[in-house]
Each structure stands twice: as structure tokens, then as C-alpha cells.
Chains A and B, each alone.
Chain A
Amino acid sequence: MSYDTLYFVFFLVLVWAAFVALPGKGCILLAASIVFYSVAGLRDSLLATAIVLVNYGFQFPVKRDARWLWLALAVNFGCLVFFKYRVFLASAAGIDFYERGIVIPLGISFYVFQLSAFLIDIGRGKAEPFVSLARFALFKLFFGQLIAGPIMRWRAFAPQINGLFDGTLARPRFVGIGLSLCVLGLVKKVMLADSLAPFADNFFRDGPASALSAWVGAWLFGFQIYFDFSGYSDMALGIAFLFGLRLTTNFRQPYLARTPQAFWQHWHITLSSWIRDYLYIPLGGGKGSFARQACVLIAVMGLAGLWHGANWTFLIWGVAWALAILLWRLAGEHLARLHAGEWALTLTIAMLLWVFFRAPDLQSALSYIATMFGAKAAGSAALPAAAAMSSLVVAGCIVLLALHWLEAKLFTRRATAMLMRMDGPLLRGFLIGLAFWMVMIPKTQDAPFIYFRF
């Protein structure tokens, strides 16, 4: 189920009504989550069930003896490799599998990462196994974070899950804030991301006709993916609030970050912190010589890139980010003297690297980037011929950045306090009404959340 659909709104209303009116809140959310995921189809549901059951079984031996962890991780990542990377790995090894049309199970990257983090935490003594299968299942299957995160940790989420089942979790107090986040997410997804998608697609499908159109295309995609994924994450947070749960924030206006490192502290935060805690630090990235740290950083960022998909473009995207971070480590002090220029440079790098993320293959990405720097046109996608219209497009690009800045103003303590004060039937009616009208507009083209495919 996709959050930006009318049927999901009906589903949510029904689940919320049952949650408020009936006892057994944990069971209600678990049942709802199972229904939610089952829409993905039998194959995906069976796989998710199997992985959840296997991980449930592994938590006890891992608690007793951390060596079991290796087997558990082998199973989890084995599944991920089999379903997501086998064609890529085989073709990289020169083996020709005639199975390029493989369908990746919905949300597999997210739930494998969350469950693996949980098992590692048990092995490290930082988490306790769930005795109850229902609690364990809800820990992973809660429909507010099942398909595209945020990747929740045991420390943050397990007490809330236990509270739900024990009846000790406070009644939902932040319904107004939850609804506001849902509306914000819908605005980002329905009004912005889906509207930008055809234009960004056009530049990447046909190739840019000039340097300016290449930069505009990259810029549009940069904002499309931000609005798409952060919109989803806002809705996930908002939905959790409706049930008295609190998920980890996944985005904090990344395009306002001054350095590449800061960008990754504001973009897909739960994945960044996962990589930091379970890859970068254990591999010794935080200590040792610069060369060693650089190697570890390049390796883990390359893996972070590959997490997004089995393609060389993702690998290069991750590695290039690692190089940018290293550049700042070497020359950060000098770059900091640029003040706003440092931010502009980081933003430019982010937009430039999105080309690798979006382009269908390495060759297309390189010719696109060459066009950005004045080489011959990679294709025919141009800005409107009329100067007024093309100025309007450029102005629109600036407006996108302004919206991003404006969004930062929404996430202040003051704004939250104001929302809390205003919370009541009037505000709730207004927000529900807005959400309803946004999902009512029929989609003129199929535009699923981008991160659903990861």
C-alpha cells in the first residue's frame, strides 16, 4: 500500500478507529501491518514472514553465543544478495544469467538492515531478545516504517512496542503533529515530487541538450528524490504519532548542509547512522592513519551506494561521496573560509552526483556530466525555447530551494509548540480534509515512491 492513495487513507482511518476504541492495541497494529504488507503479494509476504521468523529464532542463540550472529547475518544478507544482487554479481563475474527482469521483494533492504542491526545489538549486549513473537513481528512489520524505513533500532523502538502490548504506552498525544506531518509529506510527494518527476525523467531519458538544461535536470531530480523520500518519511513519522509511537527522523533539510559530511548527517539519517555504527566504526574507520580511514570510508560508502541498487552507477555514487568527504577532511578549514561558498559547493556536488544515482548506466551518466561541463550535448532534452519560459523554469528551481529553506522553519520548537496549542477538532478536521483532497486527485501517471524499489 502506498501512503499517497485514497485506499490507504480508508485503511488508516479504520485502523486508527479500532486502535482508539478497542483493547489489544499491539495486536491491532500487528494485524493491520500484516494486511498492509500482504497487498505486495504472496511471494513478498511469504519471504518477509520467513525472514521475520528466522530472525526471531536467531535472537536467542545470538544472545547466548555471539558466534551465532555470523550465521544469522549470512542468512539475512544471503537473502538480500540472492534477491537483489545475484544478476549484478553474476554479470560482473562474466556469467550470463538470463534473468535481468528480476522483481526485488518490497522493502527487503530496509527490513534486512533493521533486523540485522537488532541481532548485532543483541550480540553486543545492547539489546534484549523479544520473547513474544507478536512483539518481535510488530517491531519490524509496523506499517509506518515497513517498506522504506526509517530503519529503527531496538533501543528507540522496542520500549514503545512493549508499551503498546503492555498497555503502558501513553495515549496518542501528538495527533495534531502527526496529521501535520502526514499533510506535509503528502504535499512533498503529491504536489512536488510527482510534479517534478516527468520533467526530470525527460532530461535523463532523452539526455540534456545543453549545459544549463543538464544542470536543471540534475537539480530537478535532486529535489524530486528529496521530496519523494522525505515526504514518505514525514508521513511515516506522522502515522506513527497517530498511534502514540515515535520514529527516528530521517531527514533534516540536507541541501542546507555546509559540508558533505553534514549532508550525510541530514540525508537518510537512519541509513547513515546504520552504516556508521555497524560498518564504518567496526571496520576501524574512526581510528588509525588517514589512509586507513580513507580506505574504510570509500569501502563503506561504496556499499552504501550499492545498498540502493545493483548497478555500477550506485557504487560510483557512493564512492564519489566518500571522496568528497575526504576532500573536506583534508581541506575543510580552507573550504570553511568560503562561508556560503562552502554550502554552494556542497550543494553543487550533491546535484552533480545525483546524475550517477539517476542515470540508467555509467555511459549515460558520464555523457550527462560531460554535457554539464560544456561538452557536446548528450541528447535532445532542452529548456523551453522562449526566454521567458526558460527563465520561469530557472526561477522554479530557485523556488524549490526556497521551499527547502522554508521547511527548516517548520521544524522548530516554536512551530511544534504552536501546533500543540492549536491541536483540537478544528485543526484535525482541517488537516484530515487537506490530506483527503490531496489523495483524491487521480494520478495521471504511475509514480510510486522511489525508495520502494530499494
Chain B
Amino acid sequence: MKVLRSIFRFALGLITAAIAAELVLRIIVSTPLWQVLPAPTIMFYGPNADTGFSHRPNVTGIWTAENRTKVRTSSLGLRDRERPLKRSDAPRAIVIGDSLIEAVQVEQENTSTAVAERILSAKHPGAEVVNLGLQGVTPAVQVARLRSIGLALQPDVAVLLVTLDWLLSDNIRDDSLSPGYKQNAQGRYELSYAFRQGRGYKFRTSQAGGAVYWLLDHSMIARVVNARRNAGWFAEWPAPMQQPELTSGPQDECRAERMARQRALWIDNQPADAAGILDAVIRDLSAISRDNKLPVVLAMRNIGLGCERIADARKALTSAIEKRLAAAGLGFVDFDSLLLEKNGSASVERLHGFGKNLGTGHLNIEGNRIYGEILAGIVAARPQWPRRQR
């Protein structure tokens, strides 16, 4: 009996501690202390039948990685300001990209899409630029995102910020968490949604999964547990100490090898598997554009910025990409060139990272400002802007 009483009291102590932790974290989050003290990071992703995962609607919280910001997802389930799905008479553009466009590291009004919207609405009052950025998306997910929420927004222009390397990445084939391109029985590459049959997805869309999301939205300590689960239970385990290298090997800053692989893909259709997927991406985007009379622009980044030695190879590559996309009725923008022009130099470190990590990581406020100006320029340069023919 005495042992049982001790166990009960011990458990009561643990529960009291959990309640105390919940209260303290709530106080931190709801006062200016969130900018300083430890706070659980927001968990705003949830299952999505079209893209595997996406932002859940109306989730509020604090993003803690790289830079602290208060984030709220819109009722449409976007990392965007609140706006109706149904468009007004004002022109509307959408930008589909990865975490650079998602930009949770800065406040909503400082995201590149918000910057672009401010610039464009100065000339066309009410003009909208909708942020469809989503962490880690491949071109396959971008296609799926355009098909679903992208078209539902009835945009006048769709801009896809595509990181060139994704086209050669294995992730574009991976359909375990989000759509990926797979060969069907006829040998044709199609978007595959195998993740819908996955245990994780099924759980997340079940009632139990719903209960977990409810808990994450309403309990701080649940967010702590979830953040720990994502970071790893032993995430702080020290990496082995290593003597710093006194010399470093030669580095090819022009990344000529990557350029050669991209040229092989776009010009020589090699390797065949990747070329098949590239064809499928272009085919699907072309069909969306044609069927919906929607101008689709692919802003390609990471082609190789400001490197004289590979300038000719780069020119040949961009020319091949442009020709290929134009033939499919798609727009092409050499994002790196625009970035070089806007930034004034090929050194873009100042646009990335925060505090002591300046130079690495996601876009900071200045980076978002520059990207926003470029996006505004891309949209405004479309002949269909501000209004496409319907």
C-alpha cells in the first residue's frame, strides 16, 4: 500500500510538472518573451491527398529554426496572408516553390511573395501574388500543387521556382511521402501517389491522426514532444571531435561537373531515366497551361551564377532549356541571371542566413526583398499580365 501511494504521488508530481511546463510555455508564447526564451516550434504540416503534405489551415505558432518568427497559415492552408479562394477582378499570380518561397524564417510581410505583391499592386491596385511555397518540394510536387490548389486559385500567371538539381535527384521519383514520377506499365512516366497507401498517411488522415493534430494545435508540450521526435531523441549526441583540416583540396567553384550533367540531360537526353521524367514534367505542365489557358513560367535557379569559365556552356544550356520549354508553350526565366543583376554580384551570401549564420541557410529579409523584386519583374514581364484572355 505504501509503495502504491508513493507511485501515485510520484505520478502526480510528473503530471504537475507537465502542467507547469505547459503553463510556462504558454506564457512565453503569448508574451514578447517568445522572442528570447525557448519555445516549441510550430507544427503546421498535415496530410494532403495531392501533394502528400502541405500546410494545415489556420495554424498559429512560432518558427524557431534559423530565425524566430510568428507564423500563421491562411484558411486556404498556405503560408500566406489571408485571402479568399475566389479571386476578385484584380490580377492574381501564384508562385510555387520550395522553402525559399515558403520563407517561414521571416514575418509574412517580408516574404518574397508579399514583397512582389506590394510592388505589383502599386501599379495594379489589388494585384495578388499568392505564396504556394512548401518545404522540400520537387518539380513533381510542384506539378501536383499547380494542378490542385494552384488552379483552384484561378491565377493569371503561375511562376514555378525550380531548382535545377531536383531534376536529377532521386527524390523526384520518390512517391513514399509525396507524389513522384514513376513509369507505368506502358513505360510512360506519370505522377504516382503511392504515399496515399502508406501507413503514415493513413494514420494522419484517420481520426487518431486528427486527434494528434488537435493536440499539436492546442498543447505546447505536445509540440515539444513532436519537435523532439522530429529532431531526434538523441539529437545532441556529440559528433566525434576532429582536428580541423589544415589544407583543403581544390574546389571547382564553377561546379562544372554539375553543369555537364545538366547539359547531358537537356541537350543529349541523358541519362534516359531522368530525361523521361523531364519530358513528363514538361508534358504535364504544358497540358495544364494549354487546358487552362494559364501562362506557366519556369524560373530556373542554380544553373551556375557568374562563373566566366563555364559561361559558354551555361549559355548553351539556358538556350536549350528555353527552346525546349518554348516548344511546350512554357515560359522560361534564367533566375540566376536576374539575381546577379539585382544583387550586383555573384556573391549571394548576404541574402542567406541570420545572425551568426549569415551566409548560409534560408533567405533573410534582404534575400526575400531581392527575390520579391525579381518575382514581381517576372510576373510583370508576362504579356498576359495583368489580365489573361479567358
A positions within 8 Å CB-CB of B:
1-2, 5-7, 39-41, 43-44, 98-99, 101-103, 106, 190-191, 194-196, 198-199, 201-202, 205, 392, 396, 424-434, 436-438, 440-444
Contacts and interface: CB of A to CB of B under 8 A. Distances in A.
B276 to A, nearest CB: 40
B359 to A, nearest CB: 12
B291 interface: no
Contact of A427 (B13, B18, B237, B243): B13
B14 A430 contact: yes
Given A2-B236, A41-B240, A190 B13 contact: no
B235 interface: yes
Interface stretch (B2-10, B96-104, B255-263, B316-324): B2-10
Given A202-B355, A424-B9, A7 B37 contact: no
A110 B224 CA distance: 35
B122 interface: no
A392 B37 contact: no
Given A101-B246, A205-B356, A443-B236, A195 B9 contact: no
A7 B236 contact: yes
Interface centre among A6, A43, A101, A441 (most CB of B within 10 A): A441
* Secondary structure type dominating chain B contacts: helix
Given A101-B246, A194-B38, A195-B38, A437 B18 contact: yes
Given A201-B356, A440-B225, 13 more contacts: A6-B236, A7-B233, A7-B234, A39-B237, A202-B356, A426-B12, A427-B13, A429-B11, A429-B13, A432-B13, A440-B228, A441-B38, A442-B228
Contacts of A440: 224-225, 228
Interface of B: 6-7, 9-18, 20-21, 32, 36-38, 40-41, 64-66, 221, 224-225, 227-228, 230-231, 233-238, 240-244, 246, 355-356
Contacts of A7: 233-234, 236-237
Contacts of B233: 6-7
Given A39-B238, A41-B241, A437-B221, A425 B9 contact: yes
Contacts of A198: 355-356
Contacts of A438: 21
Given A425-B13, A430-B13, A103 B241 contact: yes
B236 A425 contact: no
22 contacts: A7-B236, A7-B237, A40-B238, A99-B246, A101-B243, A102-B243, A191-B37, A201-B356, A202-B356, A205-B356, A426-B16, A428-B13, A429-B11, A430-B14, A431-B17, A432-B17, A433-B17, A434-B17, A434-B21, A442-B228, A443-B236, A444-B65
Contacts of B236: 2, 5-7, 443
Contacts of B238: 1-2, 39-40
B18 A433 contact: yes
B227 A442 contact: yes
B227 A441 contact: yes
Contacts of B227: 441-442
Contact of A98 (B36, B64, B66, B246): B246
B29 to A, nearest CB: 12
A112 to B, nearest CB: 18
- List 9 A-B pairs, minimum CB-CB distance, nearest first: A429-B13, A433-B17, A101-B244, A430-B13, A437-B21, A442-B231, A429-B10, A425-B9, A425-B10
Nearest to B240: A41
Nearest to B39: A441
B107 to A, nearest CB: 14
Contacts of B15: 433
Nearest to B11: A429
Contact of B10 (A5, A195, A202, A426): A426
A2 B12 CA distance: 28
A337 B33 CA distance: 39
Contacts of B66: 444
Contacts of A434: 17, 20-21
B68 to A, nearest CB: 8
Nearest to A106: B241
A314 B235 CA distance: 33
A440 B37 CA distance: 14
Contacts of B41: 442, 444
A101 B38 CA distance: 32
B10 A428 contact: yes
A198 B67 CA distance: 10
A103 B15 CA distance: 43
A103 B290 CA distance: 61
A201 B355 contact: yes
Contact of B241 (A44, A205, A424, A436): A44
A40 B237 CA distance: 10
A443 B231 CA distance: 9
A440 B36 CA distance: 18
Contact of B64 (A202, A429, A444): A444
A190 B18 CA distance: 17
A277 B37 CA distance: 40
Contact of A430 (B16, B40, B225, B240): B16
B191 to A, nearest CB: 34
Give the interface centre of A195, A202, A444 by most chain B CB atoms within 10 Å. A444
Contacts of B6: 424-425
Contact of A437 (B12, B224, B230, B231): B224
Given A99-B246, A441-B38, A432 B14 contact: yes
A238 B103 CA distance: 43
Contacts of A41: 240-241
A106 B9 CA distance: 40
A403 to B, nearest CB: 12
Given A190-B38, A195-B36, A444-B65, A437 B234 contact: no
A171 B224 CA distance: 36
A437 to B, nearest CB: 4
A2 B231 CA distance: 17
A2 B235 CA distance: 12
A31 to B, nearest CB: 20
Contacts of B9: 424-426, 429
Contacts of A5: 234, 236-237
B339 to A, nearest CB: 24
Nearest to B7: A425
Given A101-B243, A191-B37, A201-B355, A441 B224 contact: yes
B246 A433 contact: no
A429 B17 contact: yes
Nearest to A7: B234
Contacts of B10: 425-426, 428-429
B227 to A, nearest CB: 5
A38 B117 CA distance: 56
A102 B41 CA distance: 36
Nearest to A389: B32
Nearest to B223: A441
Nearest to A443: B236
A280 B94 CA distance: 72
A396 B36 contact: yes
B271 to A, nearest CB: 39
Nearest to B235: A442
B176 to A, nearest CB: 25
B17 to A, nearest CB: 2
Contacts of A432: 13-14, 17
Contacts of B16: 426, 429-430, 433
Contacts of B40: 441
Contacts of A443: 235-236
